[in-house]
Chain A
Amino acid sequence: MMGHYEAPIREPIITGDKSYHDVTLDVVAPIEGKANKSWYIAFTIALVAFLWGVGAIIYTIGTGIGVWGLNNRINWAWDITNFVWWVGIGHAGTLISAVLLLFRQKWRMGINRSAEAMTIFAVFQAGLFPLIHMGRIWNGFYTLPVPNPLGSLWVNFNSPLLWDVFAISTYLSVSLVFWWTGLLPDFAMIRDRATKPFQKKIYSLVSFGWSGRAKDWQRFEEVSLVLAGLATPLVLSVHTIVSFDFATSVIPGWHSTVYPPYFVAGAVFSGFAMVQTLLLIMRKVSNLEDYITRVHVENMNKVILVTGGIVTVAYLSELFVGWYTGSSYEDFVYLSVGAATGPYWWAFWSLIMCVAVIPQFFWIKKIRTNYIWTFIISIFINIGMWFERFDIIVINLSRGHLPSSWTMFSPTFVDIGIFVGTLGFFFVLFLLYARTFPVIAQAEVKSILKSSGNNYKRERDNPTAKKEEV
């Protein structure tokens, strides 16, 4: 790739004068150490939420979808909102590990492992909703084109909901393979350090006998590149297909050609916000401040600005074309004067504030590089993007073509319980992950240590840096 030369003006992305061994020690510390009290508290809370969600799901399946707040007109609400929200969250992981790999962004290496984990755990949550929102979940397997005794009754490939099945399952499997491939050298490192026999056994099992020979590395890199090349169109197409669920319809506000790129941009936007939320905590509690530095946080905020900007321009396009069509039905869609002043005004303004306005504070360098502000804004973005999906789905459905079917939606405790349950499940998985997996891709970080470590940069720059020294 680029050799070991780097322009002196590039900032170090590994701080703390690390050596290779230091990297190893920092990465294995949470795995080899014991969990502290706050981990257990967090885990318990997440577990309780998860179990509550399981209860709500069982209640739904046992009693019927009628226990949700859906009605005849608004027949998708929290279920699909949460589905799209979780899928969207997952997209940042693939963006960080695949797209940033294609763009040779070295700073991705500090964050890609956790972002990918987040992808996978988020897709788990997302995958629940298409199943549990079915009226007859036990017939769910009919969505698969398998030969069967019903005269080979087949699926209709014209439905975007079927494309969803393929998109989400492919996305999950490719992400999983991509993630696991990257984990092999790191698992091997833990295996080689393990002293307890049980731990040694487990990590030898999951590291697939990785021995780190030159030929292995060569193929490893090729596979990573190919998978990155495949994952990039995949990540675009998955959320595109999710957007097709709406855009292929004829419902005002849903039928919009800008949905595919706009959903993808929104997914990256919300996904990065979630990465920020998680990593800002993780860098503190797992003592990874030297690997997830201010540069990483700032760069992620820049990506948030770019994708947030694209989303805002897409809003502009939607808003403009809504007027431009002259269609009176477009007056009540989720981005319209009707929505801004109608019964869902609070949802409309939450969306505008949290998605289009608040992230613009990242234009200010002081805020962009501040951990606390970043954390706060990232939460707002997550809320805003939830509202975006809620608005798209519920506001557009609430006021359709026929005024006689205009209606409102209010969630029941089951709707809310399932969402809380997925949040709990997500954190259960993530907290377990943080204690058992190498959360930093140490093999990759070691490959940039000598070009981007602050100590190496200092050494290299000193002889020539007389002029540039402040």
Chain B
Amino acid sequence: MYTVSSRLRTFSIALIIIGLFGIGYGFITAPKTVDDVKEMMHSAEDSHGATTHNEEKATDAHAMQSAEDHGSSEVSEGHGDEASHYEHVLSQAQNRPWTAIYIPMIFFLLISVCALVFYAIQRAASAGWSPVLFRVMEGVTGYIVIGSVIILVFLAASAMHANHMFAWMFKSSDPTAANFDFAMETKEWWLNVPWFLIRSVIYVLIWIGFRHLILKNARLQEETGDMKYFKKSFKFSVIFLVMFLASELFMAFDWLMSIDYHWFSQLYSFYVFASMFVSAITVIALVTIYLRAKGLLPQVNDSHIHDLAKYMFAFSIFWTYLWYAQFMLQWYANIPEEAAYFHPRLIGDYQPLFMGMVILNFVFPILILMNSDYKRIPWFVVFAGIIILVGHYLDVFVMVSPGTVGNHWSFGIPEIGALLFFAGLFILVVFSSLAKKPLEIKKDPFIKESEIFHY
């Protein structure tokens, strides 16, 4: 039986508290009025000296997205109008603390959900190597419930106009309204607040419900050793995978793609999945290596680590494949309504992040994890894993930020605070859920294969 060490508990609680301060700081320092924005921009200019940072760049993300978006926003004058510009900058600046928490919020929740997907795949595939890792995977899925509740609260707050995260929530499909947006004429059937919230609840219920079913069934199997429960686990896993595929498709459209609501990509959900799936496998590997280093997983040998590292390697490449497919096709065709999405990312202010994450998510993993001897060295896998996690955090950052904070992004106290808060919460919840049951699973028909597994 594993118990969360007091050091780990203190550490995670410390992260949460520090993170809370950072988040609070972000909300307190966010500008309240247009005057604050002007002052902020002037002081930024002073400190940056010659680099005229904000004002001169009319090509921020939203402006690129569409001129209509601007022209018909709160102030109905033209695009170049100064008042409307400051208004716009204000809403972006006010979005910053919200964006800062949304990114790690979605990052850790989807990691947890994808860990459940990985677990379900292992069960559905009758994998012989992984049963000794089942408990670790179950532990990582422990964050699903609390993570889901947090995100639902966040989305409800957004729906009540607490922030400008989802710009379409402020638009109308009525041509006579001041906030009319032509895009909403065709998208309102999908992008409307009640239906959006109902869908969000449905996604979350699917994940929580299946986690509950699969884990409860696994516990019954361990207690009784009855093959009936083993077969049921298989069934639940398969049904979950089907349900997940469908729910994830629309979840990614809703929670991420609708931030840049003028833009669309058919591949988007698959891309989000690849990003979060590789992160989930990485987290499973990191937790396994941590617990094994403490001597708590005696059945886990280097071959298991090797297999996990292979998955990290393979899905890093898979992520890159989808990243490239989505980017290259829109870059190649260069159709304006699609290219606007990649403009701030490829040649705008997000370029270092956009390119940097490809190096972190592809170049490093492929070089580090190519050698099969290296994949058996725990610290090496940890090193690669941290790079992968940083890279995919940036991936979510680049998905969300351009549509919410525009070119005024920075990585400061609000972002670090939010990241620490959610990391602390994730660690605390995951390890507490690991402490609830023994780490060794019993009476699984494949457990012996897994214990003697050698590659």
A-to-B contact residues, CB < 8 Å: 1-3, 5-10, 233, 236-237, 240, 244, 247-250, 255-261, 309-310, 313-314, 316-318, 320-321, 323-326
Contact = CB atoms under 8 A, between A and B. Distances in A.
9 contacts: A5-B449, A255-B329, A255-B333, A257-B326, A259-B329, A316-B249, A317-B249, A323-B186, A324-B253
B325 A240 contact: yes
Contact of B266 (A244, A248, A317): A317
Contacts of A321: 264-266
B449 A2 contact: yes
A7 B326 contact: no
Interface in B261-298: 264-270
A309 B333 contact: no
Contacts, number: 106
B445 interface: yes
Q: Classify the interface of chain A: helix, strand, loop or mixed.
A: helix
Given A248-B333, A260-B322, 20 more contacts: A1-B454, A6-B128, A7-B446, A10-B126, A236-B321, A248-B332, A255-B329, A256-B266, A257-B325, A258-B265, A260-B325, A261-B322, A318-B266, A320-B249, A320-B250, A321-B264, A323-B190, A324-B190, A325-B264, A326-B187
B321 A250 contact: no
Contacts of A10: 126
A238 to B, nearest CB: 13
Nearest to A103: B125
Given A316-B249, A317-B249, A309 B242 contact: yes
Contacts of B250: 320
Nearest to B266: A258
Given A5-B448, A5-B449, A248-B333, A257 B317 contact: no
Interface string B313-355: 0000100011001101110110101000000000000000000
A77 B131 CA distance: 50
Contacts of A318: 266
Interface string B153-192: 0000000000000000000000000000001011101100
A3 B129 CA distance: 12
Nearest to B337: A325
B333 A2 contact: no
Contacts of A259: 266, 325, 329
B445 A8 contact: yes
B411 interface: no
Nearest to A264: B321
A313 B242 CA distance: 10
Residue among A237, A309, A325 with the highest chain B CB neighbour number at 10 A = A325
A324 B190 CA distance: 8
Interface string B433-455: 00000000000011011001111
Contact of A325 (B186, B445, B449, B455): B186
A7 B333 contact: no
A257 B128 contact: no
